[in-house]
Amino acid sequence: MGRPGHTLDLRFTKNYIQCCVMLRAFEVRRVNVWRNLNCYAL
> Does residue 39 form part of some domain?
yes
pLDDT of residue 6: 72
pLDDT of residue 3: 65
> Does residue 4 form part of some domain?
no
- Tell me the three-class secondary structure of the chain, residue by residue: CCCHHHHHHHHHHHHHHHHHHHHHHHHHHHHHHHHHHHHHHC
- Number of C-alpha atoms within 13 angstroms, CB side, residue 12? 5
The domain in which residue 38 lies consists of 14-42
pTM: 0.47
Q: Which residues of the chain have pLDDT under 70?
A: 1-5, 42
Distance of CA 21 to the CA centre of its chain: 2
Cα dist from 24 to 11, 29, 31, whole Å:
20, 9, 11
pLDDT of residue 42: 57
Total domain count, the chain: 1
pLDDT of residue 9: 84
